[in-house]
């Protein structure tokens, strides 16, 4: 099956064959080699550098100079070529997340992301709206924000992924999704650390309630060798709620599939019963109820979640913004 031929420059001197020959979506783009070389240092080396022969079917002085790029995606390359050949009317105003992800993966490889600067703000508004509609899009939006220098989006989304993403999203192979360096590992690690800290709060409380008489007891009115009715009621109440929440026995944090927010919600909705005031006594076991104490500790854990974004991430995005600004000034 012959590939579809698209002309980006009627005086173009090189053809880019995009996709595999057996792919029905494979295309051939007729382009200007000098336009590509000016825009992209990678294309410059590929077309005019010492390794140019490895990419071409024919030498660049041949009548049919063809460069094979089987791994690139035709739709993304078409947008990139529209930018480099000034066919601005063909550049999508509201691309989907998938389209923009493919484009920025390609622009990163060819080191031409700076040429996308004029469309950055419009695309950011579109992506923000789409990303809020689906958590499954978060990994791709994370990459887009990184590559486009959207620092605030990147930081906010990184934190949202710590809080909102389930374990399954982190099992996606890096062969399928391209991530900024070290960010997905940090998000995943902080997520597990946070879940472990939340689970430990209740694990420690259960240990406090189940101590033997020789150790300090949780009940404020406990006496030596006295009844454990107070601790037993609180302990049973906590375990009952954890069972109903699917968290008993307390799991290992690494095995929890749910998001941090889901675990937080379950723990803040646990209702702990106590035996209250004893009959004919001034003793009130409401004072022993650990609910407020546990809630405060849970809130403290949530308030101390580390920022997954490092200085290196921020510096890279600032550099991207400066590239956009420089390109726009030249334009």
User: What average pLDDT does the structure give for the chain?
Assistant: 90
Query: Taking residues 30-51, what's their average pLDDT?
Result: 91
Looking at the predicted structure, is the pLDDT value of residue 195 above 90? yes
Q: Which two tokens stand for residue 243?
A: 């069972």
Looking at the predicted structure, is the pLDDT value of residue 22 above 80? no
Least confident span in 58-67, 172-181, 237-246:
58-67
pLDDT: which is higher, 60 or 123: 123
Least confident span in 46-55, 126-135, 155-164:
46-55
pLDDT digits (tens, 9 = 90+) for 47-95: 988 665 555 555 555 568 899 999 999 999 999 999 999 999 999 999 9
**Please, which residues have CB within 8 angstroms of residue 256's CB and are 6 or more apart in sequence?**
167, 192, 195, 199, 263
Greatest mean pLDDT range, 122-131, 161-170, 272-281, 319-328: 161-170
Q: How many CB atoms lie within 10 A of CB 315?
A: 10
Query: Taking residues 140-166, what's their average pLDDT?
Result: 96
Looking at the predicted structure, is the pLDDT value of residue 325 above 90? no
pLDDT: which is higher, 4 or 124: 124
Query: Taking residues 174-180, what's their average pLDDT?
Result: 81
pLDDT at 216: 86
| Closest to 146 (Cα-Cα) out of 192, 177, 189, 172 | 177
Distance (Å) of CA 95 to CA 100, 178, 247: 6, 18, 42
Sheet architecture: strand order including 14-18: 4-7, 27-31, 14-18, 66-69
Instruction: Name the residue ranges covered by the structural domains of the chain.
Output: 1-73, 92-181, 191-303
The secondary structure of the chain, three-state, reads CCCEEEECCCCCCEEEEECCCCCCCCEEEEECHHHHHHHCHHHHHHHHCCCHHHCECCCCCCCCCEEEECCCCHHHHHHHHHHHCCCHHHCCCCCCHHHHHHHHHHHHHCCCHHHHHHHHHHHHHHHHHHHCCCHHHHHHHHHHHHHHCCHHHHHHHHHHHHHHCCHHHHHCCCCCCCCCCCHHHHHHHHHHHHHHHHHHHHHHHHHHHCCCCCCCCCCCCCCCCCCCHHHHHHHHHHHHHHHHCCCCCCCCHHHCCCCHHHHHHHHHCCCCCCCCECCCCCCEHHHHCCHHHHHHHHHHHHHCCCCCCCHHHHHHHHHHHHHHHHHHHHC
pLDDT at 1: 41
Task: State what percent of residues in the chain have pLDDT above 90.
Answer: 71
């Amino acid at each position: 099956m012959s590939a579809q031929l698209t002309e980006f420059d009627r005086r173009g001197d090189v053809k880019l064959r995009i996709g595999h020959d057996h792919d029905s979506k494979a295309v051939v783009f007729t382009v200007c080699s000098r336009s590509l070389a000016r825009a992209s240092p990678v294309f410059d080396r590929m077309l005019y550098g010492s390794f140019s022969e490895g990419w071409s079917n024919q030498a660049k002085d041949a009548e049919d100079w063809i460069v094979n790029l089987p791994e690139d995606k035709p739709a993304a390359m078409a947008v990139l070529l529209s930018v480099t050949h000034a066919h601005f009317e063909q550049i999508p105003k509201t691309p989907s997340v998938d389209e923009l992800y493919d484009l920025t993966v390609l622009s990163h490889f060819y080191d031409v992301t700076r040429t996308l600067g004029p469309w950055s703000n419009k695309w950011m508004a579109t992506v923000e709206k789409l990303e809020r509609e689906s958590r499954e899009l978060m990994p791709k939006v994370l990459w887009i924000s990184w590559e486009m220098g959207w620092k605030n989006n990147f930081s906010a989304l990184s934190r949202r992924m710590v809080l909102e993403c389930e374990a399954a999203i982190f099992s996606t192979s890096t062969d399928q999704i391209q991530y900024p360096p070290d960010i997905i590992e940090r998000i995943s690690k902080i997520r597990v650390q946070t879940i472990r800290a939340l689970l430990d709060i209740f694990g420690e409380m259960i240990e406090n309630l189940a101590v033997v008489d020789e150790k300090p007891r949780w009940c404020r009115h406990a006496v030596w060798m006295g009844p454990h009715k107070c601790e037993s009621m609180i302990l049973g109440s906590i375990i009952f709620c954890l069972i109903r929440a699917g968290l008993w026995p307390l799991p290992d944090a690494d095995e929890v599939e749910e998001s941090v927010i889901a675990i937080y919600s379950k723990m803040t909705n646990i209702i702990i019963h106590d035996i209250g005031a004893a009959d004919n006594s001034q003793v009130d076991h409401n004072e022993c109820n650990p609910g407020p104490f546990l809630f405060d500790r849970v809130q403290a854990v949530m308030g101390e979640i580390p920022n997954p974004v490092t200085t290196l991430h921020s510096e890279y995005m600032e550099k991207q913004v400066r590239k956009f600004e420089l390109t726009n000034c030249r334009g």
